[in-house]
C-alpha cells in the first residue's frame, strides 16, 4: 500500500540541501502531527507557519487561498466614523426609492433591475459616506466604475441629495422626452452624472485598470499630478467570467497600481442562477487575484457569525464552510433552521454539537441575513485597508445576498434578476423592515410612493455634509472649461502638399511622419499619446522610441540590446509612447482613458492608437462603442488596411470591412484617405474640431478613424483649386479629369465615366483611367472618396431636413452634379462600403469591391481574384457604358479576352 505521507519528487529536489538531517526532522515532525492529530491539524500548522514566514519577509510562494472567513478579524476592525444610525436611514431610503422607481416604471414595460443594488447598497453607501473623493476638492477626485445593474440605487441617492426629482425617477428608461434617465451608466445620455459606461460587462474592470495606469502616466509625465485620485471598480462575481474582466490583472500588479480597488459583489448569483453552483467563486477569485499579485481582502460574514467562530474549537466550522458549494449556500438562504441544522451542521459530529448551543433564530440570522457586504463596519474596514495598502492593487471580495431586504420572494431566488417589481404588500413589508415613515395612505390606487425625509432633514443634511467634506457630489462628470488647444504650425501639414516626387511612400508611413512633426510642436506636442499594440516597428514608429520614450513606471532597469543604434529601445518613467504588448483590448482601454482626460482630469490629451485594421473594429468594436458613450476624442488609425494590400498574411489579416463596422458607430468619423496630403487635411480638421475652435452646433465629442496602407506608392501633389480641403473633409472631390491628366481621347464627344475610388483603390482607378483613354477611347474622371460614411451621414441629414420642410441637397449630389456618364465606385473593401451612397447618386451607379474572405497572394493576384484591379475596372466601366449605348457591347467581350478576365 502506498504511504500517504511519502515525500513525492518536487522542484526542491534540484536545490542543494546544506543540512539534510534538519530537513528530515522538520518533515518527520509534520508526519507525526498528521498521524497523531490528523491532516487538518497538520494543514493548519503549515498555513500558520507560511503566514508567519510571509509576515516576516521570508521569500516564499504565497498561499493562493485562505479559509472561507473574513481577512480582517472583528477585533481588528476600526470604528466607523460618523453617525451610523443616520447612515442606516439614508441607506434605507435609497433602497426603497431604487425599488420604487423600477416598480413604477414596470407599468410602462420598461423594466429595470432591483436585486443587484439591494445586495450592494452598503458597498456603495459606505464609499459615498467615507471614501469617494468628489471633483470640487483638490485634484480630479476619484473615478467610480459603477456596476450597471445597480444604477437605480445611484439615482435614488441623487434624488435624496436633490440632484434628481421625482419626475426624473418616473422617467427611468424613458429618455426620448428629454427628462429621462438612461437604464445604465451612459455618459453620452446623462453627461453631468455618469463618467464611465460599464454595463457591457467586462469592459468596466479592464477600463478601470488602464484608467488607474493612465493616472500614473499623467503624473509621471508632468501633465498633472493626479496621485491623490483613486479608481474604484464595482463588479459582479458573475461578470468576472468575461475574459476582459481578468485580462489585465497582471499589468495592474506588475505596475503596482495601489491607486486601484476592485469591489466584487459576491452574491453568488449571475443572471440565470448560481455563478459557481458546484464550486466556490470567492475562493476561485481569491486564488486568481493572489496569483496575479493583488492584495486580496475577503469580507464574507457579518457580526452574527462571531459567536459561531468563537465556538469552533476544532476547526470543523471552517472545514465545512470551505466544502459547501455556492449553490447550497444559496439554498440555506431560503430554508428553515431545521434544514440548516441537518444539512450544514449534521455533516460533522463536532458541528452537530456546536449547533446544540445555537437557537433557531441565531441560525437564521447567520444564514439568512449576516453577510460582510451588508454591514457598514465590515465594509468600512475593508475599504480602509484597501486605500492604505501600498505596492499592489486591492480586490475586495464582499459576500452579499442578491435581493437583500426585498423579502423572501426575492432573496437568493434564481429568477430575481428578471423580477422587475414588488407588490404593495411586499413594499409594506419592506417598509416595516427598513423602519421607514411611509403610511399606508401613501399607496394611492396601488401606486408605490417615493420616500424622502425632506430637504432640511437630518438625513439629507448629513448626506450633503459628508459629500462636501469629500469634495462634492459623486458620481459626477465635469467638462472643464478648457481653452482650445492652439493649432500646430501649418508647416507640419503643408509639407505634404507637394507630394513625394519619385519616392514611393505608404500612407501608413505618411501618417507616422506627420505625427513625428506634430509631437515636436512646443504648444501641443506633449499632449499627444501614441498607443500601439506591439507593432510599432511594423508601422515605422521605432524612430519615436529614443525621442519620446516608451512609458514604464520602472524606467529602464537594463541596458537595451540595441543601445548602440540610433533608434534604440528606450523605456522611461516619463515616456510618452504606450507600447502595450499584444493586446488590442488593453490598447483600446488606454485610448479611452486618454481620450476622455479632458473631462476626467481637465487635461486635453490627443491619443492616436495605430493597429492592424483587421484587429481593431472586428476585435474591439464593443470598446469603440464604449469610447463613443464616454465621449472620447482622438484618432484611431487602422494601418495595413484593405483586403488586398497586406500581401501574404491571409484570411484573418485581410481587412475588407472595418469602414463598414465603423459606420455603425455614430461618434466615429471614418475616412479612407488615398494620399498623404489628404491625411494631413483630415488630421488638421480633427484637431480643430475636437480640440480647437469648434463651429456653432458642431459636436466635439467624436473620434476619427483613418485607414492607412502599407503599399509604397508615389504620393501626388495636392491639386490646385478651390474646395479641395472641403471635399476631403466632406468625403468627395474630383482628383482629375482625363484632360487634366494629359490623356489623349481621340473622339471629340468621347464616352465619359466617373470613377470614384478610396484609399489605395484610387491608384487602380488611375491606371484604369489611362487604359480607358488609350485603348478604348473613353474619358474617365477620377474622384477621391475620402469618406463614404460621411457622405452617407450628410445625405441622411438632408433627408431628415426634407421631412421637416427644409430644402437641402446632399453634398454627394452637389459634388457630382453635371458629371457626365455613369458612376463606378471601387475600394479595397466589400461593396457595401461604397454602396452606402448609392441611393443619393443621380447617375447610373455601380460598385466593385473585395467581397468574401481574404487570401494569401501577391497584391496583383489578389486584386485580380476579387475583380478590383485596373483591368477589371476597365471591363466594368465598359459594361456600364455599353448598357447605356455609349460603347458597343462587343467592347466588353473584347476587353475581357484582352485582359484575361
Residue 655 CA to residue 638 CA, distance in Å, equals 9
Q: Are 761 and 641 in contact (CB under 8 A)?
A: no
| 408 pLDDT tier (thresholds 50, 70, 90) | confident
> According to the 3-state scheme, what is the secondary structure of 423-466?
CHHHHHHHHHHHCCCCCHHHCHHHCCCCCCCCCCCHHHHHHHHH
Extract the runs of DSSP E, i.e. beta strands, from 218-276. 231-236, 260-266
Look at residue 227 in the predicted model and tell me its pLDDT: 96
Locate 580 and state its grid cell.
Answer: 502595450
- Strand (E) or helix (H) holding 399: strand 394-399
- What is the distance of C-alpha 378 from the center of its chain? 30
Higher pLDDT, 220 or 108: 220
Residue 395 CA to residue 382 CA, distance in Å, equals 10
| 11 pLDDT tier (thresholds 50, 70, 90) | very low
Statement: residue 785 has pLDDT above 90 = yes
Statement: residue 96 has pLDDT above 60 = yes
Question: Residues 6 or more apart from 121 whose CB is under 8 A from it?
Answer: 91, 94, 95, 153, 404, 405
Residue 302 CA to residue 300 CA, distance in Å, equals 7
Share the mean pLDDT of the chain: 93
Look at residue 2 in the predicted model and tell me its pLDDT: 44
Q: Are 161 and 155 in contact (CB under 8 A)?
A: no
Look at residue 72 in the predicted model and tell me its pLDDT: 96
What radius of gyration do the chain's Cα atoms show?
33
Residue 672 CA to residue 782 CA, distance in Å, equals 16
Look at residue 416 in the predicted model and tell me its pLDDT: 60
Q: What is the pTM of this model?
A: 0.94
Backbone angles phi, psi at 894, to 5 degrees: -60, -40
Statement: residue 480 has pLDDT above 80 = no
Nearest to 62 by CA among 71, 54, 74, 73: 54
Look at residue 4 in the predicted model and tell me its pLDDT: 46
- 340-351 pLDDT, tens digit per residue, is 999 999 999 999
Q: Are 549 and 571 in contact (CB under 8 A)?
A: yes
Look at residue 748 in the predicted model and tell me its pLDDT: 67
- 513-563 pLDDT, tens digit per residue, is 999 999 999 999 999 999 999 888 889 898 899 999 999 999 999 999 888
- 367-381 pLDDT, tens digit per residue, is 999 999 999 999 999
- 165-200 pLDDT, tens digit per residue, is 999 999 999 998 877 999 999 999 999 999 999 999
What share of the chain has pLDDT > 70, as a percent? 96
Residue 901 CA to residue 891 CA, distance in Å, equals 13
Angle between helix 458-469 and helix 84-106 axes, rounded to 10 deg: 100
Is residue 63 helix, strand or coil? coil
- 46-88 pLDDT, tens digit per residue, is 888 877 877 787 877 777 888 999 999 999 999 999 999 999 9
Residue 196 CA to residue 549 CA, distance in Å, equals 29
Look at residue 166 in the predicted model and tell me its pLDDT: 95
Look at residue 505 in the predicted model and tell me its pLDDT: 95
Amino acid at each position: 500500500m502506498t504511504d500517504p505521507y511519502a515525500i513525492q519528487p518536487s522542484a526542491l529536489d534540484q536545490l542543494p540541501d546544506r543540512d539534510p538531517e534538519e530537513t528530515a526532522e522538520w518533515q518527520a515532525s509534520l508526519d507525526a502531527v498528521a498521524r497523531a492529530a490528523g491532516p487538518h491539524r497538520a494543514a493548519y500548522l503549515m498555513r500558520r507557519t507560511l503566514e508567519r514566514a510571509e509576515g516576516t519577509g521570508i521569500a516564499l510562494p504565497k498561499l493562493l487561498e485562505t479559509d472561507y472567513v473574513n481577512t480582517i478579524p472583528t477585533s481588528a476592525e476600526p470604528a466607523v466614523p460618523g453617525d451610523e444610525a443616520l447612515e442606516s436611514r439614508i441607506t434605507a431610503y435609497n433602497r426603497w426609492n431604487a425599488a420604487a422607481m423600477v416598480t413604477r416604471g414596470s407599468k410602462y414595460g420598461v423594466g429595470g433591475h432591483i436585486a443587484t443594488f439591494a445586495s450592494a447598497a452598503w458597498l456603495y453607501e459606505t464609499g459615498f459616506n467615507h471614501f469617494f473623493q468628489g471633483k470640487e476638492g483638490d485634484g480630479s477626485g476619484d473615478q467610480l466604475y459603477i456596476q450597471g445593474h445597480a444604477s437605480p440605487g445611484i439615482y435614488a441617492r441623487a434624488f435624496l441629495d436633490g440632484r434628481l426629482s421625482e419626475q426624473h425617477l418616473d422617467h427611468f428608461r424613458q429618455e426620448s422626452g428629454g427628462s429621462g434617465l438612461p437604464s445604465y451608466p451612459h455618459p453620452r445620455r446623462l453627461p453631468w452624472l455618469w463618467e464611465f459606461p460599464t454595463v457591457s460587462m467586462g469592459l468596466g474592470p479592464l477600463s478601470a485598470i488602464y484608467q488607474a495606469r493612465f493616472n500614473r502616466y499623467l503624473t509621471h509625465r508632468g501633465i498633472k499630478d493626479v496621485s491623490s485620485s483613486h479608481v474604484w471598480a464595482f463588479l459582479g462575481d458573475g461578470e468576472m467570467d468575461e475574459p476582459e474582466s481578468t485580462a489585465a490583472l497582471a499589468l495592474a500588479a506588475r505596475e503596482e497600481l495601489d491607486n486601484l480597488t476592485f469591489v466584487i459583489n459576491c452574491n453568488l448569483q449571475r443572471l440565470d442562477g448560481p455563478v459557481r453552483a458546484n464550486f466556490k467563486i470567492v475562493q476561485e477569485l481569491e486564488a486568481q487575484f493572489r496569483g496575479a499579485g493583488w492584495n486580496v481582502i475577503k469580507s464574507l460574514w457579518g457580526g452574527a457569525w462571531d459567536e459561531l467562530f468563537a465556538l469552533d474549537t476544532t476547526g470543523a466550522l471552517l472545514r465545512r464552510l470551505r466544502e459547501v458549494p455556492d449553490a447550497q449556500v444559496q439554498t440555506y438562504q431560503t430554508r428553515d433552521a431545521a434544514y440548516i441544522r441537518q444539512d450544514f451542521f449534521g455533516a460533522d459530529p463536532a458541528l452537530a454539537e456546536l449547533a446544540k448551543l445555537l437557537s433557531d433564530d441565531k441560525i437564521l440570522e447567520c444564514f439568512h441575513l449576516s453577510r460582510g457586504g451588508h454591514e457598514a463596519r465590515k465594509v468600512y474596514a475593508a475599504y480602509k485597508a484597501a486605500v492604505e495598502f501600498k505596492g499592489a492593487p486591492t480586490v475586495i471580495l464582499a459576500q452579499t445576498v442578491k435581493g437583500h431586504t426585498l423579502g423572501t420572494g426575492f432573496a437568493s431566488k434564481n429568477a430575481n434578476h428578471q423580477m422587475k417589481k414588488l407588490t404593495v404588500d411586499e413594499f409594506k413589508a419592506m417598509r416595516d423592515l427598513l423602519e421607514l415613515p411611509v403610511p399606508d395612505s401613501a399607496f394611492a390606487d396601488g401606486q408605490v410612493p417615493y420616500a424622502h425625509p425632506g430637504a432640511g432633514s437630518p438625513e439629507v443634511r448629513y448626506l450633503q455634509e459628508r459629500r462636501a467634506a469629500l469634495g462634492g457630489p459623486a458620481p459626477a462628470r465635469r467638462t472643464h472649461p478648457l481653452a482650445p488647444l492652439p493649432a500646430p504650425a501649418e508647416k507640419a501639414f503643408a509639407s505634404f502638399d507637394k507630394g513625394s516626387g519619385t519616392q514611393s511612400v505608404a500612407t501608413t508611413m505618411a501618417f507616422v511622419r506627420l505625427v513625428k512633426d506634430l509631437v515636436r510642436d512646443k504648444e501641443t506636442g506633449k499632449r499627444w499619446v501614441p498607443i500601439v499594440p506591439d507593432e510599432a516597428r511594423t508601422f515605422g514608429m521605432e524612430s519615436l522610441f529614443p525621442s519620446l520614450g516608451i512609458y514604464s513606471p520602472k524606467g529602464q532597469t537594463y541596458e537595451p540590446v540595441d543601445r548602440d543604434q540610433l533608434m534604440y529601445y528606450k523605456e522611461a518613467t516619463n515616456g510618452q509612447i504606450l507600447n502595450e504588448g499584444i493586446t488590442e483590448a488593453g490598447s483600446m482601454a488606454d485610448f479611452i482613458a486618454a481620450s476622455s482626460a479632458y473631462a476626467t482630469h481637465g487635461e486635453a490629451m490627443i491619443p492616436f492608437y495605430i493597429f492592424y485594421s483587421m484587429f481593431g473594429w472586428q476585435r474591439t468594436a464593443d470598446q469603440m462603442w464604449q469610447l463613443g458613450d464616454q465621449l472620447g476624442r482622438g484618432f484611431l488609425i487602422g494601418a495595413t488596411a484593405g483586403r488586398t494590400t497586406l500581401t501574404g498574411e491571409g484570411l484573418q489579416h485581410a481587412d475588407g470591412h472595418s469602414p463598414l463596422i465603423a459606420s455603425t458607430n455614430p461618434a466615429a468619423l471614418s475616412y479612407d484617405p488615398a494620399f498623404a496630403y489628404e491625411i494631413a487635411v483630415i488630421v488638421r480638421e480633427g484637431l480643430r474640431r475636437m480640440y480647437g475652435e469648434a463651429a456653432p452646433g458642431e459636436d466635439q465629442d467624436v473620434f476619427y478613424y483613418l485607414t492607412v496602407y502599407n503599399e509604397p506608392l508615389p504620393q501626388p501633389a495636392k491639386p490646385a483649386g478651390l474646395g479641395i480641403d472641403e471635399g476631403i473633409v466632406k468625403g468627395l472631390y474630383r482628383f482629375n479629369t482625363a484632360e487634366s491628366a494629359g490623356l489623349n481621347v481621340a473622339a471629340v464627344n468621347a464616352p465619359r465615366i466617373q470613377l470614384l475610388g478610396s484609399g489605395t483603390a484610387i491608384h487602380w482607378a488611375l491606371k484604369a483611367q489611362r487604359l480607358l483613354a488609350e485603348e478604348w477611347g473613353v474619358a474617365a474622371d477620377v474622384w477621391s472618396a475620402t469618406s463614404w460614411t460621411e457622405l452617407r451621414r450628410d445625405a441622411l441629414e438632408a433627408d431628415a431636413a426634407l421631412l421637416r420642410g427644409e430644402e437641402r441637397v446632399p453634398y454627394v449630389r452637389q459634388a457630382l452634379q453635371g458629371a457626365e456618364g455613369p458612376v463606378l465606385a471601387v475600394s479595397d473593401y466589400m461593396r457595401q462600403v461604397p454602396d452606402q451612397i448609392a441611393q443619393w447618386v443621380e447617375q447610373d451607379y455601380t460598385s466593385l469591391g473585395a467581397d468574401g474572405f481574404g487570401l494569401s497572394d501577391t497584391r496583383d493576384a489578389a486584386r485580380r481574384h476579387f475583380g478590383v484591379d485596373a483591368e477589371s475596372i476597365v471591363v466594368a466601366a465598359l459594361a456600364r457604358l455599353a448598357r447605356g449605348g455609349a460603347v458597343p457591347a462587343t467592347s466588353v467581350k473584347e476587353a475581357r479576352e484582352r485582359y484575361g478576365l
